[in-house]
A and B are shown apart, each in its own frame.
Chain A
Amino acid sequence: MPQWQGQLVKIDDYHWEIPQSYKDGMRVPGLIYASKEMLESIREEQTPEQVANVAFLPGIVKFSFAMPDIHWGYGFPIGGVAAMSVKDGVISPGGVGYDINCGVRLLRTNLSEAEVRLKIDQLIKELFANVPSGLGSEGKMTASRKEMGELMVEGARWAVKHGFGSEEDLDATEEGGCLRGADPSKVSDKALKRGMPQAGTLGSGNHFLEVQVVREIFEPKIASVMGINEIGQVLVLIHTGSRGFGHQVCTDHLRVMEEAVSKYGIKLPDRQLACVPIESKEGRDYLAAMACAANYAWCNRQCIVHWVRGSFSKVFGKGPEELGMKQIYDVAHNIAKIEEHMVDGQKLKVCVHRKGATRAFPPNHKDIPQKYKEIGQPVLIPGDMGRCSFIAVGTQKAMEESFGSTCHGAGRVLSRHAAMRSLRGKDVAQDLKRRGITIKTGNIPSLAEEASQAYKDVTEVIEVCHQAGISKKVAMAVPIGVIKG
């Protein structure tokens, strides 16, 4: 692929603008968060072209944003954020992605690295046995049609009602684990059929469950509010989404929008950007179905948390309470949300598309839990399985600048195919083992796809967001045990 030759105007060390004049049809400029060093690979990949394409979408306000973990997607770039005015803007399923409400959930424990290392093999084995993972993995709890109907509306609350976790978990989840406006009648039978057996499963691909150890604390006061108190403390990170259910919801509604685009006279540079007015029937239907998938994903992570607690209890012979296994937070990184933001000094209702981006609301925002009002919303940024993950908090600057959004992870640099060609899953597993990371997966060859070499260094990504001010880093953790689907 040739390098992208367009103009990137430096605003400061971490903000780069694609002028609106770059392409006829852009309604706003593009804004890329990156360091100078990152620009080379960003240009290499042609991703700015996708940032510019998103700027074509009707009703987009301020900028078409790209976070530093940006990489080439389909339609929208991954790491893209775009806010459309609800009054005259569009909703685009491609701006959410197929894995609706793919997200991460973080648990704390009272356990130390030494205690867990002693039993890590047993623990990973137990977790692997209790959390269904792998391609086409089916749950231990196949949901009936009636149950699906309820969980699509209630989300994580449905799981809590059925004994998976507690009310406290819901409080520590974006939207309380339940996005309003879900309407199961907007979900196809096909989506239901894919979703029923997969409820409560981790899945495969880049989804994982990690046992981590805190290595650095940058903001001790903020960290302690989250229950992160010392170096060496053990955490658990869960990364999964809405499985085949969400993929089908996206597929179904993209099809509808594909046909509706011309009806609304919308001109697009890429068919995958298919969109319709937010206030149209097709737009409302998608949002109602998307909410069902988002809720399915929150229910999914809620069930998994319950099994994680059960596994730890069994291995360490203590209850989850005694082990201090409280949920720090759960955030979505593929979602569209109707939110209120200040635009040109006025309150405006917008639909914020976050595709591979995390909400990062500041201290005192009305939509964050009481216990985090002083510190801001926790932001969870997983890296690749061989490096590290970060915990950050949202900021006022993110609110003013990026519609309360920041990055979501490391971002790929090597295609899955290229990674598979140059690395062997077996070697990756051995390398991880040498570095003290125990791994269990049903698919060894695919480990190569997720190796560190395939990703940008998440440390650089988080640093750009920190320096740009759209999130503030709080702590860093490294994996000691990984389960991959």
Chain B
Amino acid sequence: MIEKAFEITDHTADVGIIAYGADIKQLFSNAALALFSLITEPGSINEKLRRHVEIISEDKDSLLVEWLNELIYLFDAEHVLFKRFDIESLTNNQLKATCYGEDFDPLKHKIKTEVKAATYHMLKINRNNRGYEVQIIFDV
């Protein structure tokens, strides 16, 4: 049983998170939740719409970075905030997910940080006896 979904770590110029997951799907979902908790208070997001996201890449590490960058794009370009992520399938080079959330409303959602991108810096998905964990540095 994984108790924590993620934690935020110190990184001088930017922001780092460590995401945890009992399995790899949960790891991806928790990393996305960590991202939106950097942007706003996930508790303030309702599930009013859903988006299907599909990513193809060369390995799991890049899948993770591209998945997060896709979500950053959806927020920055289309102003959608998400709070729940249903990872439907995840192979070594493909991810399919449905994300639930709502349109950004400046009166309702307090914005904490502008996240520019998820980086590949020091990125490595690790497996241990409790499941998976990964550190991701975001450029903010």
A residues sitting closer than 8 Å to B (CB atoms) are 45, 71-75, 78, 97-99, 134-136, 190, 193-194, 203-205, 244, 247-248, 250-251, 254-255, 258-259, 270-272, 274, 412-418, 443, 445-446, 485
Contacts and interface: CB of A to CB of B under 8 A. Distances in A.
Interface of B: 8-15, 57-58, 61-62, 66, 69, 72-73, 75-79, 104, 111-114, 116-117, 119-123, 137, 139-140
Contacts of B58: 258-259
Contacts of A134: 111
B15 A247 contact: no
Which among B12, B75, B114 has the greatest number of chain A C-beta atoms within 10 A? B12
B135 to A, nearest CB: 11
A244 B75 CA distance: 11
A247 B121 contact: no
Contacts of B72: 247
Given A74-B119, A194-B76, A244-B76, A205 B11 contact: no
B13 A73 contact: yes
Contact of B121 (A71, A270, A445): A270
Contacts of A205: 113-114, 140
A233 to B, nearest CB: 33
Contact of B120 (A135, A247, A272): A272
B77 A75 contact: no
B48 to A, nearest CB: 18
A242 to B, nearest CB: 10
A71 B13 contact: yes
Nearest to A412: B12
Nearest to A192: B77
Instruction: Give the most central of B69, B78, B114: most A CB within 10 Å.
Output: B114
A254 B123 CA distance: 14
Contacts of B75: 136
Contacts of A485: 114
A75 B11 CA distance: 13
B77 A45 contact: no
Contacts of A270: 120-122
The interface residues of chain A, by DSSP majority, are classed as mixed
Given A98-B139, A416-B140, A251 B12 contact: no
B12 A415 contact: yes
Contacts of B117: 98, 247, 250-251
Contact of B62 (A99, A204, A258): A258
A417 B13 CA distance: 10
A72 B11 contact: yes
Nearest to B138: A74
Contacts of B10: 415, 417-418
| 8 smallest beta-carbon distances between A and B, as pairs | A74-B121, A271-B120, A272-B121, A247-B116, A193-B77, A415-B10, A74-B119, A98-B116
A51 B116 CA distance: 23
A443 B106 CA distance: 12
Contacts of B121: 73-75, 270-272
A418 B16 CA distance: 12
A13 to B, nearest CB: 25
A203 B12 contact: no
Given A74-B14, A136-B114, A417 B8 contact: yes
Contacts of A98: 116-117, 139
Contacts of B77: 190, 193-194, 244
17 contacts: A71-B12, A72-B13, A74-B14, A74-B120, A74-B137, A98-B139, A135-B111, A194-B73, A204-B111, A251-B69, A258-B120, A271-B120, A272-B119, A272-B122, A412-B13, A415-B13, A417-B11
Contact of B11 (A244, A415, A445): A415
